[in-house]
Amino acid sequence: MASKLEIDALRALRTIGTHGGVTKAANQMGLSQSAVSHKIRRLENALDCDLLARQAGGSLFTEAGKRLHDYALRIISLHDEALADLGKKSLDGTIRLGMTEDATTSDIAGILGRFTRLYPSVNVRTRTSQSLNVQTWLDSGELDLAMMQVFKEDVCENDLVLFEDSLHWVKSCDLVLDPSRSIPFLSFDNNCFYRKWGFSEGLQQGHSFEKVLECPSAAGIQSGVRSGLGIALLNGLHITPDIEIIKNLLPTPPSITFVARTNPKSRSASVKTLVNEIAREFQEPPSSF
């Protein structure tokens, strides 16, 4: 029987399950792919069994991996809640939080749930929108904290970097594009920074776009792409096997980064505590070899 299960290795296993593979988990955790693989090998050695199926196109986990993943979700939740509860200070007040849709469907939701259980006197009021809208709210003083996407080159010195992702032009596998004609484009709203970049760079390279769908939801854009309505710009989190990445036709998109950005005028202890909780979740300590 294994003498112990390392909590950092269990976090790696959980992140692999959440994000669908070692490479995406490494990006999420801010580690190299080899470091994440090393964490999983330590678990496998401790338990004397394989956890990852390691077969292209097949199941992500072995049967043992699935069982341990379920245990990991419970163990990590109780571990983090116990640490926070025993060391917490009394907090109250209101946190005005702005997030993008991607943030609401990530590990952030679990962190917020745990935070509100630990600090029931803190009222977290959350608004969601596109990144540029969230930034506008932050600049105007309507938010204390924002979790959003920015281009990698636009990360600020005081930002808490959560994880990085790639941006891609995508389409349905059945959609045939004619570069000599206007390209049908599926867009978020007018204030979407994907769209602003895509239209600007595309026009510079001689491409013409025709907006055929405007939708505030990533799920709606995904559905439109799968239906063959047109092309779109999506980050890696939203690209599924039935969506094709367009290569060598359009300008290469820049990398994007998910950040937590605090209002510089905020002096709230509650905000600082929430940011620390988020940092502890996303910024894993370096793996030792």
DSSP track, 183-239? EEEEE--TT-HHHHHHHHHHHHTT--EEEEEE-S-HHHHHHHHHTTS-BEEEEGGG-
Mean pLDDT of the 96-112 span: 82
Q: How confident is the model at residue 289 (pLDDT cuts 50, 70, 90)?
A: very low
88 pLDDT exceeds 80?
Answer: no
| All structural domains of the chain with their residue ranges | 7-85, 88-164+257-282, 167-254
What kind of fold does domain 88-164+257-282 have according to CATH? D-Maltodextrin-Binding Protein; domain 2 (3.40.190)
21 pLDDT exceeds 90?
Answer: no
Residue 240: strand, helix, or coil: coil
The pLDDT score that the predictor gives to residue 138 is 95
Mean pLDDT is lowest, of 39-48, 188-197, 243-252, for 188-197
Q: Are 170 and 240 in contact (CB under 8 A)?
A: no
Query: Please, what CATH class does the domain formed by 167-254 belong to?
Result: alpha beta
The pLDDT score that the predictor gives to residue 115 is 87
Q: What is the Cα–Cα distance from 266 to 272, expressed in whole angstroms?
A: 9
34 pLDDT exceeds 70?
Answer: yes
The pLDDT score that the predictor gives to residue 155 is 93
Q: Annotate 212-233 with b (16+ C-beta within 10 A) or e (fewer).
A: ebebeebeebbebbbeebbbbb
Q: Do domains 7-85 and 167-254 have the same CATH topology?
A: no
87 pLDDT exceeds 70?
Answer: no
User: Hey, what are 279's tokens?
Assistant: 């940092």
288 pLDDT exceeds 60?
Answer: no
Q: Annotate 251-281 with b (16+ C-beta within 10 A) or e (fewer).
A: eebeebbbbbbbbeebebebbebbbebbeeb
The pLDDT score that the predictor gives to residue 286 is 37
The pLDDT score that the predictor gives to residue 3 is 66
User: Hey, what are 125's tokens?
Assistant: 């009021």
Q: Are 65 and 9 in contact (CB under 8 A)?
A: no
pLDDT digits (tens, 9 = 90+) for 145-193: 999 999 999 999 889 988 888 999 999 999 998 878 899 999 888 788 8
208 pLDDT exceeds 90?
Answer: no
Q: Radius of gyration (Cα) for the chain, nearest Å?
A: 21
227 pLDDT exceeds 50?
Answer: yes
Q: How confident is the model at residue 105 (pLDDT cuts 50, 70, 90)?
A: low
The pLDDT score that the predictor gives to residue 69 is 92
Q: Are 143 and 260 in contact (CB under 8 A)?
A: no
pTM for this one?
0.67
Q: What is the Cα–Cα distance from 189 to 213, expressed in whole angstroms?
A: 10
Mean pLDDT is lowest, of 25-29, 229-233, 249-253, 281-285, for 281-285
Q: What is the Cα–Cα distance from 211 to 228, expressed in whole angstroms?
A: 14
Q: What is the Cα–Cα distance from 193 to 233, expressed in whole angstroms?
A: 10
Mean pLDDT of the 81-102 span: 80
The pLDDT score that the predictor gives to residue 265 is 87
Q: How confident is the model at residue 205 (pLDDT cuts 50, 70, 90)?
A: confident
The pLDDT score that the predictor gives to residue 124 is 93
The CATH number of the structural domain formed by 7-85 is 1.10.10.10
Looking at per-residue pLDDT, the higher value among 97 and 267 belongs to 97
Q: How confident is the model at residue 143 (pLDDT cuts 50, 70, 90)?
A: very high
Q: What is the mean pLDDT of the chain?
A: 86
